[in-house]
Amino acid sequence: MGGKNSLSMIGAVLAVLGLIGLAIPVITTQETKEVARIGDLKLEATQQKSYPIPTILSGGALLLGVVLICAAVMRR
């Protein structure tokens, strides 16, 4: 019984990650760097970086998750 439960849990996690990847196709982060420092005066610059999530990867994770859940249910 432990194999079926873990298989469905992995499938559920993959399906949720695939749905999140399809809903949010780009992750953006901000990085603040110190550019110059003169005494107590500090000059900082903020730079944004975007990381696109490939749609094929998100769709594949979703599909694999659904297949794993179905396989766990069919194992009964």
Q: Which of 54, 63, 65, 64 is nearest to 22 (CA)?
A: 54
What's this model's pTM, rounded to 2 decimal places? 0.72
Asked if the model's pLDDT at residue 6 lies above 60, the reply is yes
Q: Does residue 73 register a pLDDT over 60?
A: yes
Both structure tokens of 14: 């993959």
What is the average pLDDT across 25-33?
94
State the total domains in the chain. Answer: 1
Q: Are 46 and 19 in contact (CB under 8 A)?
A: no
Mean pLDDT within 52-68: 95
Which residue segment(s) compose the domain that 14 sits in?
Answer: 2-74
Tell me what pLDDT residue 3 has. Answer: 65
- How would residue 75 be classed by pLDDT, with cut points 50, 70 and 90? confident
